[in-house]
Amino acid sequence: MRHIAIIGSGPAGYYTAEAAQKAFAGDVRIEVFDSLPVPYGLIRSGVAPDHQSIKAVSNRYEKVALSDNVGFVGNVCVGRDVSIAELRELYDAVVLATGAPRDRDLGIPGETLSNVFGSAAFVGWYNGHPEFAALDPDLSGRTAVVIGMGNVALDVARILAKTRAEFAGSDIVAHALDALEASRIERILILGRRGPHQIMMTPKELGELGHLERAAPHVAPADLPAPEEDAILEPGLRKSVSHLRAFAATPAHIRAEKPIDLEFVFMSSPKALVGNGKVEAIEVEKTRLVRGQAEGTGETETIPADLVISCIGYRTSPIPGVPFDERAGRFANDEGRILPGLYCVGWARRGPSGTIGTNRPDGYSVVELIAEDAESGALGAARKHGRAGFDALAEERGLEVVTFRDWKKIEEAETRAARDGAPREKFVDVAAMIRARD
Ligand code: NAP
């Protein structure tokens, strides 16, 4: 019997568990660890609350989680409550599926001013992640600046723009719903350091901006390349750019029917955040494209900003004892192998890009590496203690382990607490989650 510990219960973690079940058939026991008492990582805390159809993928993970040879070890933080070395003693293979939960820094002056957030924090706030639930962004100003032109920037801009009614059926947490309803923001700028042909936004998600109740997207027609230049774009990007063209073609009097402006600002690289304690403006340098990259022109502009959210990508959190690639912001690995017996998968392996589905082949390929290492003898004889050994350690340390059965009780309590039409009202602090299982 092989024992596999998967650290992280998001998409990368559960696809790996699924692949390991298939590859090792009845000859494996898998534990999925999470530092929170609740599973599903990015699905729960990252995917936008108004994108419930994407969140439904957790039903597939639940099927895996409920299998006899798969366990959930919630509320245990690997690297703090238990070390990697200890887990490696207990398990034949340890797979880090910890994602990329830290914000990349902009690296510009003023980043520590108040009301400046990274998207991990801001998204965590409206999704009720215990670490960020108390963020309390000030939404009383007029202008919000969202930095970055990827799908996370779109999520953040859309959430800022929506009315309470537009959150019907979502699982946005109550504190965020109330704060957003009281928001005074009238102008949301989406700031990109490159141009319309370099956006990272996918068409379906970008198209949603055209159907908001109280916000109208705006692109300055002069910012768009000549239409014939779209021909060279790959089809998905061409479709996204066609949305930008539609936004640019919307007459001002139609846009004026909606009170919130959602403006795309291209070719503008953030240089500094300015303010006295709290952010008041962002200084940008206009750019030009040189071999596809943004190069500063020296021309600067100061844009008022009462709230700034940078959506420029994420980093994996290092774990003591695991080699880390500082530059790339993820574990140092060779196609998922850190060393025989220690692997990484998903964003922790390749950085924060791709869709949820990209993690599936990732999970399968890391399991192939484990099988290879088991076959070659690199994992040693199958004599590890797995869960039984971990449980003994957890008891000795007084860890409060949350099982999948406990999670189902927490989930029931969240479902019971849901407002009308919503799937759940999430607990936003760990103590409340743990109380709910008792
Ligand atoms: P992303 O797609 O990589 O976009 C990051 C954006 O930040 C880019 O526009 C990038 O511009 C910009 N940026 C990076 N560094 C910058 C800097 N120093 N100054 C200014 N701008 C900077 O990342 P993401 O939006 O965080 O998304 C992560 C992944 O999750 C993506 O694969 C995304 O598709 C996926 N996702 C999907 C959904 C969905 O399908 N609904 C929702 C959310 C996220 P440059 O291109 O110039 O570097």
pLDDT one-digit tens code per residue, 235-261: 999 999 999 999 999 999 999 999 999
Section 1-14 average pLDDT: 97
Residue 382, pLDDT score = 80
- Average pLDDT of the chain? 97
pLDDT at 314 over 90: yes
Residue 381, pLDDT score = 87
HSE-up of residue 343 (Cα within 13 Å, Cβ side): 31
Q: Which atom of ligand 1 is nearest to the CA of 194?
A: 47
Residue 12, pLDDT score = 98
pLDDT at 115 over 90: yes
**What is the 8-class DSSP label of residue 23?**
H
**Distance in Å, CA 297 to ligand 1 centroid:** 23
Backbone angles phi and psi of 252, in degrees to 5: -55, -40
Q: What is the DSSP string of 313-373?
A: -EEPPP-TTS-EETTTTEE--BTTEEETTEEE-THHHH-S-S-GGGHHHHHHHHHHHHHHH
CB atoms within 10 A of CB 361: 12
CB atoms within 10 A of CB 62: 16
Section 202-229 average pLDDT: 98
Residue 438, pLDDT score = 84
**pTM score > 0.85 for this model?**
yes
- Residue 100 CB–ligand 1 contact under 6 Å: no
Residue 26, pLDDT score = 84
pLDDT at 431 over 90: yes
- Residue 198 CB–ligand 1 contact under 6 Å: yes
Axis-axis angle for helices 11-24, 359-376 (nearest 10): 40
Residue 49, pLDDT score = 98
- Residue 354 CB–ligand 1 contact under 6 Å: yes
**What is the 8-class DSSP label of residue 165?**
G
- Residue 363 CB–ligand 1 contact under 6 Å: no
- Residue 148 CB–ligand 1 contact under 6 Å: yes
Closest CA to 93 of 371, 348, 353: 371
Give the SS3 label for residue 155: helix
- 127 pLDDT band, cuts 50/70/90, is very high
Share of the chain above pLDDT 90, in %: 98
pLDDT at 146 over 90: yes
Q: Which atom of ligand 1 is nearest to the CA of 294?
A: 47
The residue assigned the tokens 């890391």 is 366
Q: What is the DSSP string of 214-274?
A: SEEEE--GGGSPPGGGGGGS-HHHHHHHHHHHHHHHS-HHHHTTSSEEEEEE-SEEEEEEE
Pairing mode, strands 102-103 and 116-118: unpaired
C-alpha distance from residue 98 to each of 92, 244, 339 (Å): 19, 35, 17
